[in-house]
Each structure stands twice: as C-alpha cells, then as structure tokens.
C-alpha cells in the first residue's frame, strides 16, 4: 500500500528525519563519553587495586624476609655457641614453621660438614639425603605437614641457596617451579645466609 503525502506532511517528515539524525548523533556521543568514563573509571579502579595489592604483597614479603632473617640468626647463634645437636636446629625450624601458618615451608641448609663435621652419620635420614648434609625442610604441600629435605641446592635452580652463600646477603627469588614431595610447586623464597664469624656456612628461608 502506498500513501500520498501533502506538503505539511513532507515538511514534518523531513524535520523528523533531521531530528532523528541529531538525536542519533547525540546518543552516540553521549554513549562514547559514558564508555570513556567507564573505561577511565575501570582503569583507575585497576590502578588502585594494583597499588593495594602491591602494598599487601610488599608487606607480606617484608614479613617473610623478617622471618627468614630471624631463623638464620637463631641458627647462627646455636652454631656460635658450639651446639652441634641437629635436633636443636630442627626444633627451631619446626617452631618457626608452626608459628607461620601462611608459609608453604621453612628450611635451612648447611655446607658439607659445616654444622657438626659428621655428615656421614646422617646419610639418607629423613632430613638429609645421601650426602648426610643438614638440609632440613618442612612444608605443608597437600595440606599436611611433611618433613623432607632440600632437593635442589646445587646446579640449575639452586640460586635461592647459592646466591646467599656466595654474596653473604639476603636474596629474594623470582617465582620458581620445584619438584617438592612429588609435586610441581611454584614458590618464591626469601633466603638469608647463616653467618658465623661473618662468613656464610649455610642458608635459611
């Protein structure tokens, strides 16, 4: 069906069309402004959350470094006092582990025969390996307490141990994947040298 329009109807139609174009343009502009504001708001929210997260992570890392430093200091004091009973060192590690429930694990490793000069007597024991070195490691992988030993303290992946040993300074590792208790686990370690007479004889973290 076709309709025949009079002059006034044509004017109204033309005017209405122009108004529709203007309204469409206006709505588009307002929509873009709104989208930009939403985007800016989202970005600002993201920046704020990132700053908050960074601050929280920074605080957590500072606390973890403090825990590692305290552990290393306690073990250093034991050694400086002439204590060679490995049970005493394990007790400090276990107590630190129990107190810091947010940590995945707590550990300490000594250089060959640096603790008691008797590594041979501790070969293949629960907190050592076939070297007999003191490399005690307690973790909560899988939600349970596991008494184990450090597995990577030489070669690739051992920076957490070797760098503090060679520099005598605290080292914070980047996220690293290790094979722990039969599982692939990504960890970040705060490692502090165990110093006796100003020289590193091991590392704790």
CATH of the domain at 119: 3.30.450.20
43 part of a folded domain: no
3 part of a folded domain: no
Report the phi/psi class of residue 70: left, alpha or beta, with left for phi > 0 and alpha for psi in -120 to 50: alpha
pTM for this one?
0.70
Predicted pLDDT at 10: 33
Q: Could you list the residue range(s) of the whole structural domain that residue 62 is in? A: 53-204
20 part of a folded domain: no
CA distance 38 to 8: 44
45 part of a folded domain: no
5 part of a folded domain: no
76 part of a folded domain: yes
pLDDT digits (tens, 9 = 90+) for 39-98: 555 455 556 544 543 454 456 667 789 999 999 999 999 999 999 999 999 999 999 999
Number of domains in the chain: 1
19 part of a folded domain: no
Could you tell me which of 63, 41, 59 has the C-alpha nearest to residue 51? Answer: 59
Max CA pair span of the chain: 112
């Amino acid at each position: 069906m076709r309709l025949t329009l009079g002059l006034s109807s044509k004017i109204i139609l033309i005017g209405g069309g122009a108004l529709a174009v203007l309204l469409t343009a206006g709505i588009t502009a307002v929509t873009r402004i709104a989208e930009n504001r939403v985007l800016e708001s989202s970005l600002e929210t993201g920046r704020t959350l990132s700053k908050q997260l960074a601050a929280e992570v920074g605080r957590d890392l500072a606390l973890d470094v403090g825990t590692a430093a305290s552990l290393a200091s306690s073990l250093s004091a034991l050694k400086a006092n002439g204590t060679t009973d490995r049970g005493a060192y394990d007790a400090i590690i276990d107590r630190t582990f129990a107190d810091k429930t947010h940590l995945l694990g707590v550990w300490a490793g000594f250089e060959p025969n640096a603790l008691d000069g008797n590594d041979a007597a501790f070969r293949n024991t629960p907190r050592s390996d076939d070297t007999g070195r003191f490399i005690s490691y307690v973790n909560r992988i899988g939600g349970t307490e596991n008494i184990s030993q450090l597995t990577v303290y030489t070669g690739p992946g051992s920076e957490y141990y070797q760098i503090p040993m060679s520099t005598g300074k605290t080292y914070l590792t980047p996220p690293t994947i290790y094979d722990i208790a039969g599982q692939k686990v990504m960890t970040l370690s705060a490692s502090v040298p165990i110093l006796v007479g100003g020289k590193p004889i091991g590392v704790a973290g």
